[in-house]
Each structure stands twice: as C-alpha cells, then as structure tokens.
Amino acid sequence: MSIETTRQIADIPPITRDSDARTIALAAYRRLIELLRDLEPDDWYAPTACPGWDVSAMVGHLIGAAEAGASVRKNLRQQVWGMRHARRFGGNTLDAANQRQILDHAALSPDQRIAELERIAPRAVAGRLRMPGPIRRVHVPIDAGGSTAPGMPERLALGHLMDVVYTRDVWLHTIDIARATGRPYPPDADLDGRLVEDVVAEWAHRHQQPVLLTLTGPAGGRFQQGRDGGDLHLDAIELTLVLSGRADPDDAHIEVVADPDRTSDLLTTRVLF
C-alpha cells in the first residue's frame, strides 16, 4: 500500500469467510511454519514479548489453538479447563485455557511441534470457517484482568473470532517469535498489509474519532476517518504492537503531527489479537 494515496477507513472491506479469511489464515500459518523451520535449537528457549512464554511455549499455545479450531470437542475441553482454573490467572479464562494448550504439548520436540502445526493448520482453518451462521452471531464476553490489556473490547462475535482474531493471533505471534530470536520479518502487502488495514478499520470503528493515520513500511498506508482529527505517523507493525497491548504508546516511535491529546487517547483503544 502507498502512503501517497489516502484511503478512507470506511471503505476498507472486512476480512470474512465470504471474502478472503481462508486465504489470509492459511498464508499466516505458512509464514509461521517457514520461520519455525529456520530456528536453531537454542532459539526455542528465547523469551518472547508475552510474559512467561518462551518460543516453545508460544508454539505450544498455537498448536492448541489450532486444535480448538479443528475440533469442537477439544475446544470445549480447553474452555472448561480454563473456567475451572481462571482464578489462578487473575480471573481470565482465556489465559487459563492458553496454559492448558501449552501443557498439552510440553513434551513435543521442536520438529514435532512444526510437524503438528503443518498437520493441524488446514483443519483448523476449515473448522473455524464451518461454524454455523446462528452461532457465529453470538457475542461472548472477554475477561478483563490477566493478560487482557486495558482498552480491549468487552465482547466479540464468535464469527469475528473465527474469521479474524485467530488469524491475527497466529500472525502477531509469528512476529513475536521473529523478534525474540532476532530473525528478520520482512512484511508484505498481501498478507501483512491486509491484516494491518483490517486492524485499522476495526480500531477506527471502535474509537469513532476523526484521525489521519500514516503507517510506514511495506504493510503500511495512509488512512483517514473524518476530518480535523489527530494526525499520527508510525510503523505499521508497531501500530499492531501498541493496539495489542504489547507496546505502550508512550514508548512507541510515534510522530504526532496534530492534536497530541486526542491522538494519545486514540491509542488506548485496543484491538483483539
């Protein structure tokens, strides 16, 4: 995407199962697996941006999340375990379920983890997108506390979780692993740019404020909602780190061109990954 052309945020098409959700999800898994194949044995013990998780634990979580997408039975098992043990994780059932995913795959070697991801990823995408329409419209609460950053939405539709949020999770964890191990992660417009613009659209819809946003890098672009609002410039990937709660807006490399008070408030509105 080009920063020479300003796109209206309202015109960004959402990622859905009726458009490109399958293509984007499979591409995100491919990018993850390619990165994991490039790791050295010691890289699997590198700490990541997610507290308490090294690369090995993060991949265990991703395998478990894929299993939940592929199998209703395994999904329910993880969710029930999460509800029973949420108190240990600040009342956050998702954090507890994630821990169950890590424990379930703790004995796997790096090669076995990669092989399991290769096996389960297509099934996970197919299973997620098969969810029936009436269930997809159900909204579920998101637990506060634990690893949930302030400013996150309080509820989400199951269809949005299946089409978009699970894919964002795979994608951003791939970036987490690249950063943790010092591996390059060159963004591209087809995968990274599409996910970034979808994040921008959801973020702008949530805060409903006028903003002019210039995102640099191959995944970037120039986006506008309304007029005479905040004007900020930053790297496209760095925006996702801020909106996911991984980076504090005050620590990010953000150039605020206009209306700094309003712009800083916008960055406390976060998006689920």
Q: Compute the distance between CA of residue 56 and CA of residue 156 in angstroms, rounded to an integer.
A: 29
Q: Compute the distance between CA of residue 156 and CA of residue 13 in angstroms, rounded to an integer.
A: 18
Mean pLDDT of the chain: 95
Q: Which domains does the chain have, with CATH numbers?
A: 6-12+188-266 (3.30.1050), 21-181 (1.20.120.450)
Angle at 44 between CA 93 and CA 21, to 5 degrees: 55
Mean pLDDT along residues 10-16: 98
Mean pLDDT along residues 183-194: 95
Model confidence band, residue 2 (pLDDT cutoffs 50, 70, 90) = low
Mean pLDDT along residues 171-180: 98
Model pLDDT for residues 140-169, shown as the tens digit of each residue? 999 999 999 999 999 999 999 999 999 999
Model confidence band, residue 7 (pLDDT cutoffs 50, 70, 90) = very high
Q: What percent of the chain has pLDDT over 90?
A: 89
Q: Compute the distance between CA of residue 198 and CA of residue 190 in angstroms, rounded to an integer.
A: 12
- Look at strands 6-8 and 221-225 and give their pairing: parallel
Is the confidence at residue 122, as pLDDT, over 70?
yes
Higher pLDDT, 9 or 4: 9
Is the confidence at residue 45, as pLDDT, over 70?
yes
Model confidence band, residue 261 (pLDDT cutoffs 50, 70, 90) = low
Beta carbons of 82 and 97 less than 8 angstroms apart: yes
Question: What's the confidence (pLDDT) of residue 3?
Answer: 72
Question: What's the confidence (pLDDT) of residue 253?
Answer: 80
Question: What's the confidence (pLDDT) of residue 255?
Answer: 81
Model pLDDT for residues 226-260, shown as the tens digit of each residue? 998 889 999 999 999 999 999 988 777 888 776 67
Q: Compute the distance between CA of residue 32 and CA of residue 130 in angstroms, rounded to an integer.
A: 23
Inter-CA distances, 134 with 145, 153, 158, Å: 29, 21, 10
Higher pLDDT, 264 or 109: 109
Question: What's the confidence (pLDDT) of residue 229?
Answer: 87
Question: What's the confidence (pLDDT) of residue 259?
Answer: 67
